[in-house]
Amino acid sequence: MSTAPFRGIAIQPGLATGPAWLPAAPAAGPGPAGTPAEEEARWEQARQTVAAHLAALARREAGTGREMAEAQRLMALDPSLDRQVRDGVRQGRSAPEALQAAAAGFAGALRRLPEPYWQQRAADVEAVAGLLQRALAGAAPETVPAGAVVCAGDLGPAWLLERPPGTVAALALAEGGPASHLAILVRALDLPAVFGLGPAFLAAVRPGSQVWVEGGEGLVWVDPDPATRRLLEARRQAAARPARAPGPARTRDGTRITVLANLNRPEEAAAAFTAGAEGIGLLRTEFLWEDTDDPPEEVQFQAYLAVARQAGSRPVTIRTFDYGGDKSSAAEPNPFLGLRGIRLGFRHPARLLIQFRAILRAAAAGPAPLRVMLPMVSTVEEVEAARAIWEEARRQVPAAPPVAFGIMVETPAAALTAAALAVRADFFSIGSNDLVQYTLAVDRGNPAVAGLYQPQHPAVLRLIREVSRAAGAAGIAAGICGEMGGDPAAAALLIGLGLREFSMSPSRLPAFQGELSRFTVTDAEALATTALAAAGPDQVKRLVDDFRRAHSAP
């Protein structure tokens, strides 16, 4: 028994427990190859079997589940994968060997790309390859007992879709990241999940171990001692109380807090507004570049307009593209510090101009007030250069109404020069995921150092305070749109640091709003003052835990 939890990447909030279930180890070797003709026929049968299986899952599911199953079906039928497997077979390999080599090549190429979103697509390739290998072996899906906590290295969305609803209590994975297809699916299913726990977690867990998953904090306990178990059970019972109904969010003293939603694509907007979002604080636009390096302006315009129409009079903030369509960026020795965010816009100014025009056209055509936001800004020169392109786009779309022009504060450089940036921007939105990553020199997607990714580190809090103060002095709004911004445990800290606008995954909205009613702004400011003077993140966590116990719901 132990008290110390494993720390990973928080994927979906929720506290759940159950006996550990681990998938069976992969079968040994693929066996000898038949003739090339036999292996090609075997491969074709497997890919058609998997495609039909995924098509059936897509027909059964709705929304995100259908989208994930269809995406994996298309990957299973991918012509490039098919060609490489057939080439391998014709060179004398068995179909499983050829598939393994081809999938490894695709996954490796994705992992060398600079943007975590695309790196995490590698796991999706491997998941589809696993389905194809299962079909080649003639194996059936494994049975998972109801109420189990699934503990594994990594899984694909189809694995979860194959299980009856309610079977899995929670997911605890040694690998995986927040942008994977599985992560998107578990958020849609509201399934507590922690990824990136590292190999030490799998070494510690055994089939039947009692596992507790705290999805909101990224913590997992394996066979906790009785005292820890009692504490966790009390927290679970408290969390089971009905969440606050959607509506205007206020602290206990009536201070108004704006709660917005983060979207990965337009189809998620309806659920966000149903959950109580007062607008969209972050519309990621990378989905437009999934299948092409240059999505047409009209395609972009229609996508932005679709969200604007659903928003009505509520604001929508659109972030410019933040991944490298230029595949040569895969050769960068350190892509996390390379061609990202607005730097990509300057590498492709025509692409940025087109996106700006599409946003302005949507602002002119739709009812919602739109805002545009630049990612990964580090210098005032970058803001000025981007504004020059923006003004050119405005000249080309003269009918557009005023559109606020803001920046994401994601680098320590931007946070420390926020006063200078504030006079060149209409608003700030703190991208806490990258701000934490760059401040602490921790790759948030690397399981080996996931435990060092600590958003409540005093250094991070001091940077957030710097941004908040600079925005206040300049008379512009400052919000937060990273994972930290939707964490109820961080709400009081961030309000105490001066933030009043929070954007988060839609599923987090009710719990976050409920948290606000526990404390006053004066309470929050006192907590923040103490936390800013803390020596390290563990001390901050103790302060926050004590604060939440003292301000628990009646």
Q: What is the pLDDT of residue 522?
A: 97
Share of the chain above pLDDT 70, in %: 90
Which residues have CB under 8 Å from 238's CB, separation 6+? Answer: 552, 553
Report the alpha-carbon distance of residue 191 to residue 261 in Å, rounded. Answer: 19
Give the range among 91-100, 333-342, 348-357, 538-547 with minimum mean pLDDT.
333-342
Q: What is the pLDDT of residue 328?
A: 35
Q: What is the pLDDT of residue 3?
A: 64
Provide the β-strand partners of residue 317: 371
Report the alpha-carbon distance of residue 173 to residue 218 in Å, rounded. Answer: 11
Binding residues for Mg(2+): 410, 434
User: Residue 520 corresponds to which tokens in the numbers above?
Assistant: 């006053």
Binding residues: 284, 319, 410, 433-434, 444
Q: What average pLDDT does the segment 397-407 reach?
A: 97
Q: What average pLDDT does the segment 380-402 reach?
A: 98
User: Residue 24 corresponds to which tokens in the numbers above?
Assistant: 């069976």
Q: What is the DSSP track for 408-436? A: EE-SHHHHHTHHHHHTT-SEEEE-HHHHH
State yes or no: pLDDT of 329 exceeds 50: no
Q: What average pLDDT does the segment 375-403 reach?
A: 97
pLDDT in tens, 445-454: 565 676 788 9
Catalytic residues, by residue number, are 181, 481
Report the alpha-carbon distance of residue 130 to residue 549 in Å, rounded. Answer: 45
Spatial contact of 553 and 478, defined as CB atoms under 8 Å apart = no
Helix (H, G, I), strand (E, B) or coil at 372: strand
Taking 3-state DSSP, the helix, strand and coil percentages for the chain, each rounded to the nearest 5, stand at: 55, 15, 35
Spatial contact of 169 and 193, defined as CB atoms under 8 Å apart = no
Q: What is the pLDDT of residue 550?
A: 93
User: Residue 38 corresponds to which tokens in the numbers above?
Assistant: 């036999």
pLDDT in tens, 40-55: 999 999 999 999 988 8
Provide the β-strand partners of residue 222: 211
- At 291, the pLDDT band (50, 70, 90 cuts) reads low
- Looking at every residue in the chain, the average pLDDT score rounds to 88
Q: What is the pLDDT of residue 325?
A: 34
- At 330, the pLDDT band (50, 70, 90 cuts) reads very low
pLDDT in tens, 107-127: 899 888 876 667 777 888 888
Give the range among 113-117, 244-248, 280-284, 479-483 with minimum mean pLDDT.
244-248
- At 86, the pLDDT band (50, 70, 90 cuts) reads very high
Provide the β-strand partners of residue 171: 150, 193
Looking at the chain, how many residues does it have? 554
Q: What is the pLDDT of residue 324?
A: 40
State yes or no: pLDDT of 418 exceeds 60: yes
State yes or no: pLDDT of 442 exceeds 80: yes
Q: Does pTM top 0.85 for this prediction? A: no
Q: Tell me the torsion sign for CA atoms 152, 157, 163, 164.
A: positive
Spatial contact of 41 and 265, defined as CB atoms under 8 Å apart = no
Q: How far is CA 545 from the centre of its chain?
A: 25
Q: What is the pLDDT of residue 521?
A: 97
Q: Where are the beta strands (DSSP E) in 153-226?
A: 168-173, 193-195, 210-214, 219-222
280-283 and 256-263 as β-strands: parallel, antiparallel, unpaired? Answer: parallel
State yes or no: pLDDT of 326 exceeds 50: no
pLDDT in tens, 170-192: 999 999 887 677 888 888 788 99
Give the range among 126-130, 235-239, 372-376, 389-393 with minimum mean pLDDT.
235-239
Quick one: three-class SS letters along 249-303?
EECCCCCEEEEEEEECCHHHHHHHHHCCCCCEEEECCHHHHCCCCCCCHHHHHHH
State yes or no: pLDDT of 134 exceeds 90: no
Domains of the chain in sequence order: 6-23+142-237 (3.50.30.10), 36-137 (1.10.274.10), 250-551 (3.20.20.60)
Q: What is the pLDDT of residue 381?
A: 98
Which residues have CB under 8 Å from 56's CB, separation 6+? Answer: none
Q: What is the pLDDT of residue 541?
A: 92
Q: Tell me the torsion sign for CA atoms 524, 525, 527, 531.
A: positive
Q: Which has more pLDDT, 331 or 531?
A: 531
Instruction: Write down the residue that tokens 């307009």 correspond to.
Output: 305
- For the ranges 18-22, 165-169, 213-217, 332-336, the maximum mean pLDDT occurs at 18-22
Report the alpha-carbon distance of residue 119 to residue 290 in Å, rounded. Answer: 13
Element counts in the chain: helices (H) and strands (E): 23, 17
State yes or no: pLDDT of 253 exceeds 90: yes
How wide is the angle at C-alpha 192 spanned by C-alphas 190 and 197, nearest 5°? 140
Instruction: Count Cβ neighbours within 10 Å for each residue of 313-333 and write b for 16 or more, e otherwise.
Output: ebbbbbbbbbbbbeeebbebe
Nearest to 183 by CA among 154, 163, 212: 154
Q: What is the pLDDT of residue 4?
A: 77
Q: Which has more pLDDT, 370 or 59?
A: 370
Binding residues for phosphoenolpyruvate: 284, 319, 433-434, 444
